[in-house]
Amino acid sequence: MDRMTGHAHRVITFLDRAQVDFLDQLGKDALFTTGSKLSRTKIIQAMVDALMKANISGKGVSSDKELEKKIVSMLDSTHAA
């Protein structure tokens, strides 16, 4: 949702079966442990919000795999601390 106007923007993405299954499993885990299911949309929104809070940028990144490595590296360094 656009924080300034309160309007959400639709984003269409293509995920492979394993990625969709992962999102579904996250939602089911939440459902079975808390009683509240997280939709794929809510999970993706939470991931984007977390990356924004972590100040992840695309500087020096030329591919999706490089971005993935950058994110995993940031998560690893946060976990080690």
CA distance 1 to 8: 4
DSSP 30: H
Residue-wise pLDDT tens digits, 3-22: 667 788 999 999 999 999 99
Neighbours of 38 (CB within 10 A): 19
Residue-wise pLDDT tens digits, 18-58: 999 999 999 999 999 999 999 999 999 999 999 999 999 99
pTM of the predicted structure, to 2 decimals: 0.82
CA distance 31 to 22: 14
CA distance 1 to 47: 14
Sign of CA dihedral 26, 43, 24, 28: positive
| In the chain, domain spans | 17-80
